[in-house]
Amino acid sequence: SQKIEQNSEALNIQEGKTATLTCNYTNYSPAYLQWYRQDPGRGPVFLLLIRENEKEKRKERLKVTFDTTLKQSLFHITASQPADSATYLCAPDTGGGNKLTFGTGTQLKVEL
């Protein structure tokens, strides 16, 4: 069955450093992958989408890579700020319509 893995342990980094979050998937080949941010008590908010034929996508301080050989996506936040503290979810497409399968998310804490 399809499986998505994100590091369940929280990632703690210092302000100004680059945060790198990992999303690994197995047993299928998604056509695209989305990343979302979720704050406590709120619904997920869309950040970036990357397609299988794209190696990298950038938006301001955010960068996503998609390696279909390794079956892995990396999500980078450069010059991180305390306001970036949240849980980040990866969501590859499930292969039908616009359905997504969400990972369990990685909690990022940016400390002063």
Contact residues toward other proteins (CB under 8 A) are 4, 8, 31-32, 34, 41-46, 49, 51, 89, 93, 97-105
Q: How far is the CB of 24 from other proteins (least distance, A)?
A: 14
Buried b (16+ CB within 10 A) or exposed e, 25-37: beeeebebbbbbb
Residue nearer to other proteins on the CB measure, 27 or 98: 98
Q: How far is the CB of 60 from other proteins (least distance, A)?
A: 16
Beta carbons of 8 and 107 less than 8 angstroms apart: no
Residue nearer to other proteins on the CB measure, 84 or 103: 103
Task: Name residue 7's beta-bridge partners.
Answer: none
Q: How far is the CB of 72 from other proteins (least distance, A)?
A: 18
Residue nearer to other proteins on the CB measure, 80 or 92: 92
Residue 9, SS3 per DSSP: coil
Report d(CA 71, CA 4) in Å as an integer. 10
